[in-house]
Amino acid sequence: MIYPALNHYMLVSAALFAVGLYGVLSRRNAVGVLMSIELLLNSVNIALVAMSRYLGQNGAASGQVFAIFVITVAAGEASVALALLIAVYRSHGGVDVESVNSLQG
Amino acid sequence: MPGDLGLAISFYLLAAITLVSALMVVSLRNIFHAGLFLVLTFVGVAGLYLTLNAAFIAAVQVLVYGGAIAVLMLFAIFLTRNAMTQGNLPGRFRFPAMAMASIIFVVFGYVFLMTRWAPGSAGQVYIAPDQVSGVLLTEFVFPFEMASVLLLAAMIGAIVLARTPAEEETKA
């Protein structure tokens, strides 16, 4: 048995995902929601890289390549989200997600 | 085996640092301090990649997350400044969110511990950075090019969204 085993990494990943989910649901500041989304993406990356390490065939780097794509998408998502936040800040005077309800019926 | 022991110790240390600072990110009232702990979380995750022998991903993690995304977050905090003085008021969904996150953690943890992973799980695979780049530029070359198109679209989208209305008027 090799320590740390795959299960340990998966548990860390699950814990980080749960923490990030709590942040997304409970934060009122939109920047806080954005930061929690980054935590979620990071937890998925840990799972991908760990599985690639423990379960992959020799020379199969797909897990790490997937992680690179996730990082790329996260970078694009962060830049667009920042621009959205600035637009919301300009039109609503704040980034409290509970005050941005102009589309509510 | 001393090598395995060192690896195990560094794994548990890094996991503890990552999870504690992630908890700080979601629970601190001061959003600026939360942003600083976010950087610590990213660095901790990069360390976890190093314990997985994924040196290239660790370097990319430090560069992209620890550098670029962290700076973007701090910019976002400072550009939306009155949110900082106001802090992070507790949302209405705090306890439902806690329950939801706990349920997710328990379910995921149960599934991960109960799953019989494929027989290869006893051995470990070492993937060198040149193997990653080789696969990236042969098998995954189409997604690779799509990623660059996506980044271009995100860049243009960000510029269009963040442009001030005053600039539009002076141009027209």
Q: What is the value of ipTM here, to two decimals?
A: 0.90
Percent helix, strand, coil in chain A, to 5, is: 75, 0, 25
Cβ-defined contact of B83 to A29 (cutoff 8 Å)? yes
What is the pTM assigned to this prediction?
0.88
B89: its two tokens:
């008021």
Is the per-residue pLDDT at B85 higher than 70? Answer: no
Cβ-defined contact of A64 to B79 (cutoff 8 Å)? no
Spans of all domains in chain B = 1-115, 128-172
Query: Which has the closest alpha carbon to A63: A72, A53, A73?
Result: A53
In this structure, which topology does domain B1-115 adopt according to CATH? Four Helix Bundle (Hemerythrin (Met), subunit A) (1.20.120)
A window 34-73, beta carbon within 8 A of B: 34-36, 38-39, 42, 45-46, 49-50, 52-62, 64-65, 67-69, 71-73
CATH 1.10.287.3510 fits A6-92, yes or no: yes
Q: What is the pLDDT of residues B118-139, one digit of tens each?
A: 655 445 667 788 888 888 888 8
Quote the percentage of chain B above a pLDDT of 90. 43
